[in-house]
Amino acid sequence: MFRRRMLALSICAGIATPSLALAGDRPLLSAAHDVAITYRLLGPRPGILHMSIQASTGLARVEGPILHGYGIVDRKAQRMTLVMTEQHIYLEIPAAAAQLRLPELDPSARFTRRGTETIAGRRCTNWDYASDHVTGGACITDDGVMLRVHDSSGQRGIEATEVTYVSRPDADFHPPAGFIQQKLPQISGLALPLPLPGGVAPR
């Protein structure tokens, strides 16, 4: 069960990347405004995930049925926090401890614009990307909200079904007061469920 929770968080880490705007004909990757997004998972692991992004910090809160609580993705600290609401505990999970690279768009990747599309009622630009690690496609709004990302096969990825520009309290992006931090259990060989730009393809 813990492995499944980690996989769900690793998918969303790439969506929440607070990257800088890339120069030239490249997409903006950091959300310019606070936003809440519902995603459906594409491919062999269907499901629904809800994400809230705090634009000022780049923090993302991820909620879904397999998490039994919620996750907080902190790209700047390269850390994911898994909050288990029923047990009143949380785990701090650095990328190195999980033996994975959090997926991100590689600044050295090559981007090719492929026109525009409407997803979840929002207009976005389609981009093909290619780096030394992986190739695929993404559809990103002008204000940096990723509405879809997938690998080159188009069979693994995430697509938005609902987008709302709304702010959540700061407390929603941290473990609740009184929750106890638990030590990280031993984890080895976690594989990402889908390859994202700059990420590691599944083994």
| 108: in domain | yes
In a domain, 199, yes or no: no
Q: Is residue 147 part of a domain?
A: yes
The tens digit of pLDDT for each residue in 128-147 reads 988 777 788 889 999 999 99
Cα 6 off chain centre by: 12
Residues with Cβ within 8 Å of residue 169, at least 6 apart in sequence = none
| Residue, of 183 and 14, whose pLDDT is higher | 183
Task: Tell me the two tokens of residue 23.
Answer: 């120069």
Give residue 35's pLDDT: 97
pLDDT of residue 98: 46
Number of Cα atoms under 13 Å in the Cβ half of residue 27: 37
Statement: the pTM of the whole predicted model exceeds 0.85: no
The pLDDT of residue 84 is 92
For residue 91, the domain's CATH number is 2.50.20.10
Res 189 pLDDT > 50: no
Closest CA to 59 of 15, 24, 97, 90: 15
Decide if 187 is inside a domain: no
Per-residue 3-state assignment (H helix, E strand, C coil) for the chain: CHHHHHHHHHHHHHHCCCCCCCCCCCCCCCCCCCEEEEEEEECCCCEEEEEEEECCCCEEEEECCCCCEEEEEECCCCEEEEEECCCCEEEEEECCCCCCCCCCCCCCCEEEEEEEEEECCEEEEEEEEECCCCEEEEEECCCCCEEEEEECCCCCEEEEEEEECCCCCHHHHCCCCCCEEECCCCCCCCCCCCCCCCCCCCC
Average pLDDT over residues 14-29: 55
pLDDT (mean) for 101-111: 60
Count of structural domains, the chain: 1
| Residue 124 identity (one-letter amino acid) | C
Structural domain contains residue 92: yes
Q: How far apart are CA 199 and CA 203, in angstroms?
A: 12
Parallel, antiparallel, or unpaired for β 89-94 and 180-182?
parallel
At 9 the pLDDT is 52
Please indicate, yes or no, if residue 189 is contained in any of the structural domains.
Answer: no
Note the maximum CA span of the chain: 49
Does residue 8 lie within any of the structural domains? Answer: yes
- pLDDT at position 154 over 50: yes
Instruction: Categorize the per-residue pLDDT at 203 as very low, low, confident or very high, splitting at 50, 70 and 90.
Output: very low
- Judged against a pLDDT cut of 70, whether residue 199 lies above it is answered with no
Q: Is residue 188 part of a domain?
A: no
Each residue of 162-176: pLDDT tens digit?
999 999 999 999 999
Q: Which of 64, 60, 48, 68 is nearest to 1 (CA)?
A: 68
Is the pLDDT reported for residue 15 higher than 80? Answer: no
Give the range of the structural domain holding residue 92, as residue numbers without chain letter: 2-182
